[in-house]
Amino acid sequence: MLQPPVRRPGRPTTSSALVRFFRIADAWELSPLQQCRLLKIPSPQVLARYRLGQGPRLSAAQQERAALMAHIQRSLAEGTTPDQVWAWLHAPHPGAPFDGDSPLYYLLENGLPALREVARHLQRRHGGRPPSEP
């Protein structure tokens, strides 16, 4: 007897990962080009298809990018307001890993390694809690 494929619990589907990604992109006030760079989508036209639910399945790397953004957002949002999250992302920060750049700029310029590093940075520096001010 054939059985339907077993879905692993805790692994988001492409559609749920995209819904979460677009919610975060809206909260972070990302332009379509910034969204393309963070999710590694080739063009704003393809991004628009994803928004409509008509894009191709996300690759494993794209799913990891979306999951890391969700982790960063959760770390930042805990105990802070959306305005504080936005300010932290857009304000320049001295020291590693940002070296005077804003976290958002750092993410955009350095891609997947930066998403991993910022997620680790927030975990280490704030014990999973976001900074109280930019």
What total number of domains does the chain contain? 1
Q: Could you tell me if residue 134 is inside a domain?
A: no
Q: Could you tell me if residue 6 is inside a domain?
A: no
Structure tokens at 63: 């799913």
Residue ranges making up the domain that contains 73: 14-126
Q: Could you tell me if residue 50 is inside a domain?
A: yes
Q: Could you tell me if residue 122 is inside a domain?
A: yes
The whole-number pLDDT of residue 130 equals 47
Q: Could you tell me if residue 4 is inside a domain?
A: no
The DSSP code sequence of 9-78 is TT---HHHHHHHHHHHHHHTT--HHHHHHHHT-S-HHHHHHHHTT-SPPPPHHHHHHHHHHHHHHHHHHT
Q: Could you tell me if residue 88 is inside a domain?
A: yes
pTM of the model: 0.82
The whole-number pLDDT of residue 128 equals 47
How confident is the model over 18-35, as pLDDT tens digits? 999 999 999 999 999 999
Q: Could you tell me if residue 1 is inside a domain?
A: no
